[in-house]
Amino acid sequence: MTKDFRFSHRLKVRYSEIDGQKIVFNAHYMTYIDVAVTEYFQEGLNLGIGDSDFDFVVAKSTLEYKRPALLNDWLTIRCRMGKVGNASMKMNCIITRDDEESPLLKAEIIYVSYNPETKTARPIPNFVRERIEQFEHGDL
């Protein structure tokens, strides 16, 4: 399963991210994904978010919790761009412990290309589509 993902980002669970049950509080998984998706665009696609004529916002997120992450776990967040539509993109993510293949969490996030001036959706620029295509097929 993890072989299907070209991009990954690692991070360590910090004390402030666990809850009363001593597991990662559910909302922190979205932060982990947000960090990894930002790195996907910056490192993977070489697009500086905010530096180019492209920005995006979350339209929908679906998280499927499988097992909890614990304090001091090293996590790997893997991201893969799925369908790219006119103004939206579907990102698939999984989170695993570094030494495991089985996911702790599976996520599907729908992003919308966003115009910060008009505060409305806009078509995904062609240069972004091309970079996604090149990266996901191993050409970037």
Residue 76: is it exposed, middle or buried by C-beta count within 10 angstroms (0-12/13-18/19+)? buried
pLDDT band for position 51 (cuts 50, 70, 90): low
Return the pLDDT at 31.
98
> Could you tell me the pTM of the whole model?
0.93
Q: Comparing 99 with 28, which gets the higher pLDDT?
A: 28
2 or 93, higher pLDDT: 93
CATH: 3.90.550.10, 3.40.47.10, 3.10.129.10, 3.40.50.1360. Which one for 2-136? 3.10.129.10
Which residue, 25, 33, 10, 5, is CA-closest to 107?
33
pLDDT for position 48: 77
Report the DSSP pairing between strands 56-65 and 88-97: unpaired
| Distance in angstroms (rounded) separating the CA atoms of residues 32 and 138 | 24
Single out the residue of 57, 59, 37, 44 nearest to residue 6, CA to CA. Answer: 44
- Residue-range domain boundaries for the chain: 2-136
* Residue pLDDT, tens place only, 62-108: 999 999 999 999 999 999 999 999 999 999 999 999 989 999 999 99
Which pLDDT score is estimated for 106? 98
End-to-end CA distance of the chain: 22
- Residues 102 and 2: their CA atoms lie apart, in Å, by 9
Q: How many CA atoms within 13 Å lie on the side-chain side of 6?
A: 18
